Structure formats: structure tokens, C-alpha cells
């Protein structure tokens, strides 16, 4: 038996809001309480951690991640503002430097970049194919837009992947829809050893940010079935030192036999859905809207699946006894989803469909009738508060694409929470960074004041919510209480606590005296907490002690 005692800090637990110490034995929370009681436990613990006022809390779950793409993005050209790219000229210069610095023998593999957003550049446009050819010296280049629903590609990649004969290819090098899927696959062709290394790097990156579980959203144009199997095998045992992984595969099913074939091919699969796209993204103007885009009146986006296909898929996975779901963003796409969902209910019955807890990714435009249908049919939502932080507000991308009025209705977190919709938060990495506290703050500080939720609700959606959507909340994961798995993280938060005269801690953002567990200050200017340790059961995934 191994044991670790954490003491002289604050423990986020509803079991004892004043808890200052916690004992873990063999990966399970064995005790929590006051420091003076912990004195008797210190002698028998194998390890004693002096928290020095730090916070012990349930580890985060990132409910929407693309592990391979995250790994690729971590070692590719960072075309975001955080990477120092503030203009088209900066982007082309970054591509040129990367091409010049490539090792001998790498010239034939695609040069990758992630994170560009023409909305933030003074030129207001992405690079053209000719500009990429010049900057990269003729090398194959794939540069994903920040939402990873479109990209710009060089002539060499266009030729090698046959992109110019596919729907969605444009002469200037912009690729969407089928052409983008093909370009995305070409960009992700890596040898087995590198693929494994990328998986590990991405998962370790998440662990260093307090994440002990990720929901991998795999699909044919994102990664292979074999890759998903490898991820499941890599992470199955906590002794791997990697976060727990919940696996989704976005492949369309027509019959129950299709669903059973996928389940047999990928043992351990949680759901057949995730990035099974009904539409695209708002940033790339491929999300399907009822009305045209405000800044592109000639388009309303595009549907990738019809209501009939939605119905067939939901019927198939329901009969196979597994969770299903879709990527859906625009209101026109949501209309199509609801038609297909109601048709599936007509076939299978309300109870059968609701029992599966089908989930949707993103669901950015949800009106009142849609919300009512979600409640009735047990729909669960995986959402990304970071999207609102990145693109919301009167001057953001959402307002540019939709107009301020329509944009204000996006990501209605408070409405969803008030209706009792099961929510889990994720990053959609590499679209937005794996930064769970930033997601919590984005939900607390939503750009639309009437859609803000409490820090406590946001934190639960980022922790217990992820386990719930995966059907694993019955294990006790996502909470710290006696008998629960010790999936936890330790945080240094500058504004977490002040110490009262009686030695007890009270919080800046919530009040332990009212029986509410401690949380860090989530005001806009407060520094985000620093992760000191991440633990999955009995295994330390990340450590600075």
C-alpha cells in the first residue's frame, strides 16, 4: 500500500468546505479534514506534501481534444498572436524561417502551421498559394486556420494530394470541405515512431495543465482507427504516466451492423460520434446558418449531413447500445439535427434514445425550442467557453460573421445550465489551448453578461461534467471525497485564500463559511493558477514538488 498526505493547504470538496488536508491510499481518497487531525496520519504516510497554502482540487477533464493534431501543433509553426504572428507578413516570414531551418531529408514532408486568423491581421486575408510557394521555396505547406475547418496550402501539397479536383479547393490555395479533409490527411501522415511520440507529448502537455482525463475526438480525416487503438492502449493503465482517455470515433453509421463493426474494431470505444460533422465552423464560414453570413451575403455555410443521415446514425448507435453524437454549430445545422433526432425517436421511442445520453459538440446556436428538445431527449453537450473568450464581444469574429445581434445569442451557457442540460467543458485543442482555468474564467466572464455562470458551476463542468458525459460519474471521479478515485491536481493560486485568525481558509471567489468549496479568483485580471502536481489515481502525471 502506498499513501500520500497533502496538508497545510485548502481542499476543494463539498464533503468538508474547511478541509486543509487529504490522505490518498492506493489511488483512493482515504481521509480529508483539518490539519490538526492530520498530525496523527503523517507518520504512517509514505509521502507528506506541505502544500504551503496551495489548493488540492479534482483534476480537470478536457472533454474535446484532438491528440495527434495537438502534438503536431506543439512542434509546428505557431501562427497565432501568442506565437508572435500579428500580420500576413509575419506569417509568411515564419513560414520562410521554418523552411530554411528544416533538416536535410525533411524537404518532402509537409511543413505545418496552426492558428492563423485573418480577422486579426491588418491585411484581412490569409496567404495565397503563390505567396506560400515563394516563402517556403516550393516545399509542401499546410497552414490550418485557427478553427481547423479550412486551411491554405502550397502548390506542392495541392499536386501531391490531388486537391485541385476536390470540392472546396480554390485557385488561391484556400481549401475547405472535401479538399480540406484530404489536405488534413496528407498533413498528418507520419511514421509510427513519430506518431507515438506526438501522442505522448500532447498528453503530457495536458497533464502539466492539471488534466487527468481527455476525450479524444477521432475521425477519419483527423486520425486513423489504428491511431485511436494505440491511444487507448497507451493510456489504459495509469502506470503509463499519461492521462486517462475517453475515445470517440466520428464515423457515420447507416445500420446497426455498421455500429457493431466499429465497436468490434475499436474495443474500449465510448461513443460513435464526436467530430461527425453536420456542418463546419463560423470562422471559416462553413457552419450552416438559416440566414447568410453578415460579412459574406453570398453564403450560408454548408451541411455535411442530412436529417435522414442523422436519423440513421442515431438509430444505429441506439440499437447498438452505445452513445452517439455530432459536431453541430450553426442554427440551420441544428434544425437538421432536430429533424433527424425526432425521426429517430419516432423509430426507437423517447426512452430508448434518451437512455443513451447522446452528446453534441459545440452547439453554439441553441434557441428555446431546441433547448426544450434537448431536455426531453436527454441530450448532453460538450462545449468550449474559450470560443467566446477568443471570438465573442461586439468587436470579435462572431459579430463580424453574424452581426452583433445574432452573435449575442452564441454559447448560451447560463440558459443551458439553468435548463439542467449535462455540460462538459473542453478546449477543442489545438483550436484553443489546453487551459482549463481559462475555460472556467471564460464561462464566469462570458461576453454576454446574462450568459455568465458561477465559478462553481463552471468548475464542475470542467471536472465532474467530463466524467458524467462519458458515463463514468458513478465511479466518484470528478469529486474529492472518501472512497473516490484520487484524480486530483494541486494549484498555486496567488489570490486563492486569506487566512482567518482561527487558522481556517476563506476564499476570494467563494466562501467556505457558506459551505461552498474553495476556488481561485476568476476575475479578468487575476493570474491563472499554476499547476504544481497532477495525479491519476496512485500515479503522479506531472510534478514540481
For residue 510, the model assigns a pLDDT of 47
Q: What angle do CA 124, 126, 128 make, to 5 degrees?
A: 130
Q: Are residue 177 and residue 268 in the same domain, yes or no?
A: no
Q: Are residue 268 and residue 172 in the same domain, yes or no?
A: no
Rounded-to-integer distance, Cα 425 and Cα 362, Å: 10
The tally of domains found in the chain comes to 3
For residue 282, the model assigns a pLDDT of 97
Q: Is 367 helix (H, G, I), strand (E, B) or coil?
A: coil
Phi and psi at residue 340, in whole multiples of 5°? -65, -40
- DSSP H or E stretch at residue 334: helix 331-348
Mind listing the pLDDT tens digit for each residue in 287-308? 999 999 999 999 999 999 999 9
For residue 519, the model assigns a pLDDT of 87
Q: Are residue 434 and residue 534 in the same domain, yes or no?
A: no
Domain boundary among 434, 449, 475: 475
For residue 205, pLDDT over 70 is answered with yes
Q: Enumerate the β-bridge partners of residue 29.
A: 24
Domain boundary among 149, 166, 187: 187
Phi and psi at residue 486, in whole multiples of 5°? -85, 60
Mind listing the pLDDT tens digit for each residue in 416-451? 999 999 999 999 999 999 999 999 999 999 999 999
Q: Is 80 helix (H, G, I), strand (E, B) or coil?
A: coil
Instruction: Please say whether the beta carbons of 288 and 264 come within 8 A.
Output: no
CB atoms within 10 A of CB 160: 14
Residue with cell 497533502: 6
CB atoms within 10 A of CB 401: 24
Q: Are residue 460 and residue 483 in the same domain, yes or no?
A: no
Residue 228 lies in a domain: yes
For residue 507, what is the DSSP state?
E
Over residues 2-20, mean pLDDT: 92
Domain boundary among 428, 453, 475: 475
C-alpha cell belonging to residue 82: 501568442
CB atoms within 10 A of CB 3: 17
For residue 239, what is the DSSP state?
G
For residue 248, what is the DSSP state?
E
Residue 66 lies in a domain: no
C-alpha cell belonging to residue 245: 482517455
Q: Enumerate the β-bridge partners of residue 33.
A: 21
Residue 327 lies in a domain: yes
Long-range contacts of range 402-405, CB-CB < 8 Å, 24 or more positions apart? 402/282, 402/289, 402/293, 402/294, 403/294
Q: Are residue 179 and residue 197 in the same domain, yes or no?
A: no
For residue 228, pLDDT over 70 is answered with yes
Q: Is 164 helix (H, G, I), strand (E, B) or coil?
A: helix
For residue 40, the model assigns a pLDDT of 87
For residue 102, the model assigns a pLDDT of 80
Average pLDDT, the chain: 93
Instruction: Please say whether the beta carbons of 29 and 539 come within 8 A.
Output: no
Rounded-to-integer distance, Cα 199 and Cα 241, Å: 13
With 0-12 / 13-18 / 19 or more C-beta atoms within 10 angstroms meaning exposed / middle / buried, residue 181 is: buried
Rounded-to-integer distance, Cα 444 and Cα 385, Å: 9
For residue 504, pLDDT over 70 is answered with no
Q: Are residue 467 and residue 383 in the same domain, yes or no?
A: yes
Residue 490 lies in a domain: yes
Over residues 7-26, mean pLDDT: 93
CB atoms within 10 A of CB 376: 12
CB atoms within 10 A of CB 31: 16
Residue 70 lies in a domain: no
Q: Are residue 470 and residue 485 in the same domain, yes or no?
A: no
Q: Are residue 515 and residue 463 in the same domain, yes or no?
A: no
Q: Are residue 126 and residue 180 in the same domain, yes or no?
A: yes
Res. 323 pLDDT band, cuts 50 70 90: very high
Rounded-to-integer distance, Cα 259 and Cα 468, Å: 22
Residue 68 lies in a domain: no
For residue 503, pLDDT over 80 is answered with no
Q: Are residue 454 and residue 530 in the same domain, yes or no?
A: no
Whole-prediction pTM: 0.94
Residues 6+ away with beta carbon under 8 Å from 58 = 12, 463, 464, 477, 478, 479, 480, 487, 488, 489
Q: Give the C-alpha distances (Å, rounded to integers) separating 140 from 109, 116, 157, 183.
A: 7, 18, 5, 11
Mind listing the pLDDT tens digit for each residue in 240-285? 999 999 999 999 999 999 999 999 999 999 999 999 999 999 999 9
Which domain CATH number covers 85? 3.10.310.70
Rg of the chain on CA atoms, in Å: 23
With 0-12 / 13-18 / 19 or more C-beta atoms within 10 angstroms meaning exposed / middle / buried, residue 395 is: exposed
Q: What percent of the chain has pLDDT over 70?
A: 95
Burial per residue of 433-463, b for 16 or more beta-carbon CB atoms within 10 angstroms, e otherwise? bbbbbbbbbbbbbbbbeebbbbbbbbbbbbb
Closest by CA to 283, choosing from 72, 439, 90, 428, is 428
Q: What percent of the chain has pLDDT over 90?
A: 88
Q: Is 182 helix (H, G, I), strand (E, B) or coil?
A: helix
Rounded-to-integer distance, Cα 116 and Cα 231, Å: 28
For residue 293, what is the DSSP state?
B
Which domain CATH number covers 513? 2.30.40.10
488-492 and 55-58 strand pairing? antiparallel
40 or 208, which is more confident: 208
Q: Are residue 263 and residue 176 in the same domain, yes or no?
A: no
Res. 236 pLDDT band, cuts 50 70 90: very high
CB atoms within 10 A of CB 350: 13
Res. 322 pLDDT band, cuts 50 70 90: very high
Residue 65 lies in a domain: no
Q: Are residue 213 and residue 140 in the same domain, yes or no?
A: no
Domain housing 507: 3-59+478-543
Residue 69 lies in a domain: no
Rounded-to-integer distance, Cα 95 and Cα 89, Å: 10
Which domain CATH number covers 395? 3.20.20.140
Mind listing the pLDDT tens digit for each residue in 353-365? 999 999 999 999 9
Closest by CA to 359, choosing from 304, 419, 425, 414, is 425
Amino acid at each position: 500500500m502506498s499513501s500520500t498526505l497533502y496538508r497545510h493547504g485548502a481542499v476543494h470538496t463539498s464533503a468538508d468546505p474547511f478541509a486543509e488536508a487529504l490522505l490518498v491510499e492506493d489511488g483512493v481518497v482515504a481521509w480529508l479534514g483539518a490539519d490538526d487531525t492530520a498530525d496523527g496520519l503523517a507518520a504512517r504516510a509514505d509521502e507528506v506534501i506541505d502544500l504551503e497554502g496551495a489548493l488540492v482540487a479534482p483534476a480537470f477533464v478536457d472533454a474535446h481534444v484532438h491528440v495527434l493534431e495537438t502534438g503536431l501543433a506543439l512542434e509546428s509553426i505557431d501562427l497565432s498572436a501568442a506565437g508572435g504572428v500579428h500580420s500576413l507578413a509575419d506569417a509568411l516570414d515564419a513560414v520562410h524561417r521554418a523552411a530554411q531551418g528544416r533538416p536535410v531529408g525533411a524537404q518532402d514532408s509537409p511543413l505545418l502551421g496552426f492558428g492563423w486568423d485573418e480577422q486579426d491581421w491588418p491585411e484581412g486575408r490569409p496567404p495565397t498559394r503563390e505567396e506560400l510557394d515563394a516563402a517556403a521555396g516550393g516545399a509542401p505547406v499546410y497552414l490550418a486556420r485557427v478553427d481547423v475547418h479550412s486551411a491554405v496550402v502550397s502548390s506542392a501539397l495541392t499536386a501531391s494530394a490531388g486537391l485541385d479536383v476536390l470540392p472546396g479547393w480554390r485557385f488561391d490555395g484556400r481549401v475547405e470541405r472535401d479538399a480540406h479533409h484530404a489536405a488534413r490527411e496528407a498533413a498528418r501522415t507520419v511514421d509510427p515512431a513519430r506518431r507515438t511520440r506526438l501522442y505522448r507529448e500532447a498528453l503530457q502537455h495536458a497533464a502539466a495543465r492539471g488534466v487527468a482525463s481527455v476525450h479524444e475526438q477521432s475521425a477519419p480525416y483527423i486520425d486513423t482507427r489504428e491511431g485511436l487503438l494505440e491511444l487507448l492502449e497507451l493510456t489504459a493503465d495509469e502506470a503509463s504516466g499519461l492521462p486517462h482517455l475517453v475515445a470517440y470515433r466520428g464515423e457515420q453509421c447507416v445500420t446497426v451492423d455498421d455500429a457493431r463493426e466499429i465497436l468490434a474494431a475499436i474495443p474500449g470505444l465510448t461513443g460513435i460520434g464526436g467530430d461527425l460533422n453536420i456542418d463546419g465552423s463560423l470562422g471559416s464560414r462553413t457552419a450552416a446558418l438559416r440566414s447568410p453570413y453578415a460579412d459574406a451575403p453570398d453564403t450560408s455555410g454548408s451541411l455535411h449531413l442530412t436529417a435522414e443521415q442523422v436519423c440513421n446514425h442515431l438509430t444505429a448507435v441506439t440499437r447498438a447500445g452505445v452513445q452517439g453524437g455530432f459536431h453541430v454549430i450553426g442554427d440551420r445545422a441544428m434544425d437538421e439535427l432536430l429533424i433527424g433526432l425526432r425521426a429517430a425517436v419516432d423509430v426507437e421511442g423517447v426512452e430508448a434514445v434518451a437512455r443513451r445520453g447522446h452528446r453534441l459538440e459545440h452547439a453554439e446556436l441553441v434557441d428555446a425550442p431546441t433547448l426544450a428538445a434537448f431536455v426531453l431527449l436527454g441530450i448532453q453537450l460538450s462545449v468550449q467557453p474559450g470560443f467566446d473568450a477568443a471570438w465573442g464581444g461586439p468587436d470579435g469574429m462572431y459579430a463580424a460573421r453574424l452581426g452583433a445581434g445574432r452573435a449575442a445569442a452564441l454559447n448560451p451557457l447560463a440558459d443551458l445550465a439553468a435548463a439542467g442540460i449535462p455540460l462538459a467543458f473542453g478546449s477543442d485543442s489545438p483550436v484553443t489551448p489546453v487551459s482549463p482555468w481559462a475555460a472556467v474564467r471564460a464561462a464566469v466572464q462570458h461576453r454576454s453578461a446574462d450568459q455568465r455562470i458561477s465559478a462553481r458551476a463552471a468548475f464542475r463542468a470542467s471536472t465532474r461534467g467530463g466524467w458524467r458525459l462519458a458515463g463514468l460519474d458513478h465511479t466518484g471521479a470528478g469529486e474529492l471525497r472518501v472512497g473516490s478515485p484520487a484524480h486530483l491536481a494541486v494549484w498555486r493560486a496567488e489570490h486563492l485564500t486569506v487566512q482567518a485568525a482561527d487558522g481556517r481558509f476563506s476564499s476570494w471567489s467563494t466562501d467556505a463559511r457558506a459551505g461552498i468549496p474553495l476556488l481561485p479568483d476568476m476575475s479578468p485580471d487575476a493570474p491563472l493558477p499554476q499547476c504544481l502536481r497532477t495525479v491519476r489515481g496512485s500515479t503522479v502525471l506531472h510534478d514540481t514538488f
